[in-house]
Amino acid sequence: MYKAFLIKYAEIAIKGKNRYLFEDALVSQMNHALKKVDGTFKIRKEQGRIYVETEGDFDFDEAVEALKCVFGIVGICPVVILEDEGFDKLAEEVIRYIDMAYPDKNFTFKVNARRARKNYPLESMEINAKMGERILEAYPGLKVDVHKPDVMINIEIRSQINLYSTVIPGPGGMPVGTNGKAMLLLSGGIDSPVAGYMIAKRGVTIDATYFHAPPYTSERAKQKVVDLAKIVAKYSGPINLHVVNFTDIQLYIYEQCPHEELTIIMRRYMMKLAEHFAKEKKCLGLITGESIGQVASQTMQSLAATNEVCTMPVYRPLIGFDKQEIVEISEKIDAYETSILPFEDCCTIFVAKHPVTKPSLNVIHNDERKLEEKIDALMQEAIDTVEVIHIEA
């Protein structure tokens, strides 16, 4: 019965020129998301409203699912768009609408009219009262409840008339493309896909870097990261996933440095390499899934040691989250089942039994000197042999 959606987005945050940037990015992300859905969709911007209109048959559920992944959307309202042919005709349409949308005529409702076009002969309050009466006449089983109605019948009088009663929540946030680009350090774990999702939610375009250590990490571990990138890409749009061969660097650190410092030193080289690709791709920051105290490499001291090698801002959206809170988001975005697949990642293989939890920068600097001979060449080799995979959801 629906041929269109009315899209609600947060207007308060966007004023002046930014509004056009916001709306244009939103439309472009919506177009992208709907490309994969069965049907023909046309997106129309009009007077602070965005409409998705369809031609012919389309898959309603798929369309809603796709729109639920577009950041910036606050609500998705399946809408019936009517021409203004007088109040009586409108009442007929509303009654017909209720019949189709609510086969079971046993609920409370409220009419919420909004007269955006001031030359309409009735004021909003009058429309509410008169339409309420007509509805009650047609369906005596219904009741009005102005405080907590089961169904809110929204009637927006514009050049045309919008009639809707369902608001499907969108993901909120800002449309991707409105806030620059960042490089996500994406592992096969639970945290980093969530971190990427959260930063993309603020309108940031995402690229990703994964450190792969064959043969210690398998093809399936890499495939898992590709799958996770696909899940993040459902929300963020396309991701350039940089797969870096990290084995030789890890082995070299393992040979040269005290084992309790392996993880920290390794993480410093990960950051340096990620930053290299970030600069190449014109990113303005790095993103990790770190959270204070979660593991030895995420104490305040360890984070300081990791952070020290970066010249770009490092965004850590999960920094104050408990694991359970992260898991909840992971489940919400459908990443959890993939994240918990049991493939080794490159950090778990080289972890020491007793990693330092309070690394001293002096000690780390000293020990990193033991890498002087070969590390630059190995870094260059890792850069030269990177595999970039274009990921689309």
State the residues that interact with ligand ATP by CB under 6 A.
Answer: 185-187, 189-192, 209-211, 288-290, 294-295, 297-298, 345-347
275 neighbors 312 (Cβ within 8 angstroms) = yes
Which residue minimizes CB distance to ligand ATP?
Answer: 189
Which of 239, 177, 243, 185 lies closest to 207 in space, CA to CA?
Answer: 239
Is 108 or 299 the residue whose CB approaches ligand ATP more closely? 299
Closest separation between CB of residue 206 and Mg ion, Å?
Answer: 18
304 phi, psi to nearest 5 deg: -65, -40
Q: Which span (179-187, 237-245, 304-312, 333-341) binds Mg ion, by CB under 5 A?
A: 179-187
Judged by CB under 5 A, does residue 302 bind Mg ion? no
- What radius of gyration do the chain's Cα atoms show? 27
Is 162 or 187 the residue whose CB approaches Mg ion more closely? 187
Is 128 or 209 the residue whose CB approaches ligand ATP more closely? 209
Is 9 or 211 the residue whose CB approaches Mg ion more closely? 211
CA angle, 304 then 308 then 309, to 5°: 140
Torsion angle, CA of 30/33/37/42, rounded to 10 degrees? 20
**Cα→Cα distances 104→141, 168, 201, 327, Å:** 10, 20, 38, 38
Closest separation between CB of residue 295 and ligand ATP, Å?
Answer: 5
Judged by CB under 5 A, does residue 209 bind Mg ion? no
Which residues are CB-contacts of 224 (< 8 A; sequence separation ≥ 6)? 188, 338, 341, 343
CA-to-CA distance for 43 and 4, rounded, in angstroms? 10
CA-to-CA distance for 91 and 82, rounded, in angstroms? 11
Closest separation between CB of residue 193 and ligand ATP, Å?
Answer: 7
Closest separation between CB of residue 63 and ligand ATP, Å?
Answer: 32
| Interface pick for Mg ion out of 170, 189, 196, 237 (rule CB under 5 A) | 189
Site for Mg ion (CB under 5 A): how many residues?
Answer: 2
Closest separation between CB of residue 84 and ligand ATP, Å?
Answer: 54
Residues engaged in binding Mg ion (CB under 5 A): 187, 189
